[in-house]
């Protein structure tokens, strides 16, 4: 038994789900729209089977597929990162987390009272880069935090590192998460969005923090801990699971840092479970409708993927997937309800298989636990037997 690595390319959907119209996402296809932005050079992803599960444009591949491949349908209600990651880890949500167009006075007044601030700015859906430039000057004058949301279940708090302070911002988010946004108001994530002033504009820094709900039940992470399998979270995995089920957390501030951290960890340990989220695809490109940037970031990941693969030991298992879509060419800047890719590789598996359409992201959790020979009661079906 070696290492198992689950690597989440945040927002990399591969086509609309059958119920996409219920989420106003008819016609969404993140991967295809990325391939329309430029002639993609992603030979390593194609060698793992990405071209077999996603419609692509201007992409040529004459090599041999060495990985098993498929795509997965989200069974949970919703299309946010927390829901997607929890389902990957074995939990199904019967109803989506609450979404607000603006937050009611009950929430805002309690937030002001419990944190001791003198008021808030904003309180409407917005792009994070746009709202800080619209309200940044007033924030610097009043030191009032900027509150905003989106079509996702989030309560976002933006404030300047320079005049408000990073620790003060984190404290506000902790109060909101633990004392206010609970019960019927329990949004999936409270997000700290720090920024600074550069010239005449305001730009977000890499010190974002997500404050998520604790999973409502045991996940694959807890099962592995029970059996003495050390669990590692890289990127925002710790934030998405509120630390629940993780032995070691390694926060990273970019895709490049997350990839390097992953490669180093694969090389350094002989056994254990590594759960990775690469957020730049979603945060920097999907939400900003930047298809070209998304494409270039995917090419960089593909370039480093060869090093990830070469770092694997013979029995290690690599699973690459996503948590939702984020079509950079649709009319919104929000997540999209899509299938996600399933790319699976191990050096000991010599005959790649078509894993088909999996009925739930939970199949990843079932497969990981079967890899470690751990009995469990999680939802889903393992695909491990098809890999040999």
For the chain, percent of residues with pLDDT exceeding 90: 89
Q: What is the pLDDT of residues 297-319, one digit of tens each?
A: 999 999 999 999 999 999 999 99
CA 227, CA 119: separation in Å to the nearest integer?
A: 49
pLDDT tier at 93 (50, 70, 90 boundaries)?
very high
Q: What is the pLDDT of residues 312-342, one digit of tens each?
A: 999 999 999 999 999 999 988 889 999 999 9
Q: What does the block give as tokens for 105?
A: 């006075």
Mind giving me the DSSP string for 337-363?
A: -B-EEEEEE-TT--S--EEEEES-THH
Q: State the chain's mean pLDDT as an integer.
A: 95
CA 101, CA 107: separation in Å to the nearest integer?
A: 13
Report domain extents, the chain: 3-91+215-386, 105-211
Looking at the predicted structure, is the pLDDT value of residue 61 above 90?
no
Residue whose C-alpha is closest to residue 325's, from 12, 8, 9, 7:
12
Q: What is the pLDDT of residues 8-55, one digit of tens each?
A: 999 999 999 999 999 999 999 999 999 999 999 999 999 999 999 999
Burial 293-304 (b: 16+ CB within 10 A, else e): bbbbbbbebbeb
The 10 Å Cβ neighbour count of residue 225 is 17
Q: What is the pTM of this model?
A: 0.90
What values do phi and psi take at 8, rounded to 5?
-100, 115
DSSP letter, residue 202: E
CATH of range 3-91+215-386; options 3.40.50.360, 3.40.50.970, 3.20.20.10, 3.40.720.10: 3.40.720.10
Number of H helices, E strands in the chain: 13, 14
CATH architecture of 105-211: 2-Layer Sandwich (3.30)
Burial of residue 242 (number of CB atoms within 10 Å: 0-12, 13-18, 19+): middle
């Amino acid at each position: 038994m070696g290492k198992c690595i689950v690597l989440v390319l945040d927002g990399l959907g591969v086509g609309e789900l059958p119920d996409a119209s219920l989420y106003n996402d008819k016609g969404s296809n993140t991967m295809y729209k990325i391939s329309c932005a430029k002639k993609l050079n992603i030979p390593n992803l194609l060698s793992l089977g990405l071209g077999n599960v996603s419609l692509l444009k201007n992409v040529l591949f004459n090599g041999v597929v060495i990985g098993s491949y498929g795509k997965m349908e989200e069974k949970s209600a919703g299309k946010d990162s927390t829901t997607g990651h929890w389902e990957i880890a074995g939990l199904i949500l019967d109803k989506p987390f609450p979404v607000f167009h603006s937050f009611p006075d009950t929430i805002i007044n309690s937030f002001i009272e419990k944190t001791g601030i003198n008021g808030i700015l904003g309180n409407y859906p917005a792009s994070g880069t746009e709202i800080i430039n619209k309200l940044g000057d007033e924030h610097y004058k009043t030191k009032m935090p900027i509150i905003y949301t989106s079509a996702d279940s989030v309560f976002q708090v933006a404030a300047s590192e320079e005049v408000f302070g990073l620790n003060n911002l984190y404290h506000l988010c902790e109060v909101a998460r633990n004392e206010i946004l609970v019960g019927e108001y329990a949004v999936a994530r409270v997000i700290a969005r720090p920024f600074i002033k550069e010239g005449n504009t305001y730009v977000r820094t890499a010190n974002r923090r997500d404050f998520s709900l604790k999973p409502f039940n045991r996940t694959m992470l807890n099962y592995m801990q029970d059996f003495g399998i050390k669990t590692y979270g890289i990127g925002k995995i710790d934030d998405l699971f509120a630390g629940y089920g993780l032995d070691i957390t390694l926060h990273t501030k970019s895709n490049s840092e997350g990839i390097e951290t992953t490669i180093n960890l694969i090389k350094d340990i002989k056994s254990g479970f590594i759960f990775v989220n690469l957020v730049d695809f979603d945060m920097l490109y999907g939400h900003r409708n930047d298809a070209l940037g998304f494409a270039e970031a995917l090419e960089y990941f593909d370039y480093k993927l060869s090093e990830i693969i070469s770092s694997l030991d013979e029995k290690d298992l690599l699973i690459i997937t996503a948590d939702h879509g984020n079509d950079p060419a649709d009319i919104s800047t929000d997540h999209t309800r899509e299938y996600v890719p399933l790319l699976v590789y191990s050096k000991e598996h010599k005959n790649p298989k078509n894993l088909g359409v999996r009925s739930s992201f939970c199949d990843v959790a079932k497969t990981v636990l079967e890899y470690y020979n751990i009995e469990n009661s999680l939802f889903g079906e393992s695909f491990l037997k098809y890999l040999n």
